[in-house]
Amino acid sequence: MNNYNPTITSTSAVSINKVLRNTYMLLSLTLLFSAVTATASMLLQVSHVVSLVCSFGALGLIWFVLPRTAHSAAGIGIVFAITGLLGFGLGPILNHYLALSNGSQLIATSLGGTGIIFMALSGYVLTTKRDFSFMGGFLMVGLIIAVLAMVANLFLQIPALSLALSSAIILIMSGLILFDTSRIVNGGETNYVTATVSLYLSLYNIFVSLLHLLGIFGGDE
């Protein structure tokens, strides 16, 4: 028996395209907003304490506020608040790298590299339309191990571990871009607000980790 129903198929395709379009539009706007808040933070020369407070604020919004507002218009405001806080928190890191003689080159390379990684991975999923949902558990376990190692390295301060962690984070976040994009493409994610936050966090972490790696290998300190 043929279960193909063109009406349902075309309706879901339209719905998936709408989620995808809205996600990419909101992601673009939030990245621009982050760039603005990061610039403001750099100009204000905020300290690492302020950066950490912003990270706590963003985590609180993601944990407690986003799940309650993701299905309403307020969710868009919360996404801007989260990305604005995370962008503002980048100020001290960017100022640190800008103090190096080739700092602006490192930041530009990290930014460009992050953009290319994102576009290539998204393009791969959109072209192949493969389902990467099987990676979910594996990626989350990897992420938990990486965060545990980060806690340990805060106190151990082993440079090689720090290097390995930045590399691992880039790989895990790249996997999460495949996972999140395939969920949108295959209809598993229907909320563009949560999809935007997931993709934004992957991009943010790739950028910071790539900057760290490039700073280690190419920084003229």
Number of residues that bind another protein (CB under 8 A): 50
Instruction: Draw the binding track, 197-216, toward another protein (x: CB under 8 A; -: no contact).
Output: -------------x--xx--
Q: Report yes or no: 106 and 112 within 8 Å, Cβ to Cβ.
A: no
Q: Which of 1, 3, 49, 99 binds another protein (CB under 8 A)?
A: 49
Q: Residue 12 to residues 6, 74, 154: CA-CA distances in angstroms?
A: 10, 25, 47
Q: Which structure tokens are listed for 109?
A: 């390379």
CB of 162 to another protein, least distance (A): 13
- Residues found in the chain: 221
Tell me the window of 2-10, 30-38, 91-99, 134-142 that interacts with another protein (CB under 8 A). Answer: 134-142
Task: Answer positive or negative: Cα dihedral of 26, 93, 178, 146.
Answer: negative
Measured from the CB atom, the residue of 16 and 171 that comes closer to another protein is 171
- Among positions 44, 59, 98, 158, the unique one binding another protein when judged by CB under 8 A: 59
x-or-dash string of contact with another protein, 4-23, rule CB under 8 A: --------------------
| C-alpha torsion sign, points 98, 101, 104, 107 | negative
In the chain, what are the helix, strand and coil shares in percent, each to the nearest 5? Answer: 85, 0, 15
DSSP one-letter code for 134: G
Distance from C-alpha of 215 to C-alpha of 107, rounded to nearest angstrom: 9
CB of 53 to another protein, least distance (A): 9
User: Which residue ranges make up the site for another protein (CB under 8 A)?
Assistant: 48-49, 52, 55-56, 59, 62-63, 102, 105-106, 109, 113, 116-117, 120-121, 124, 128, 130-141, 143-144, 147-148, 150-151, 154-155, 167, 170-171, 174-175, 178, 210, 213-214, 217-218
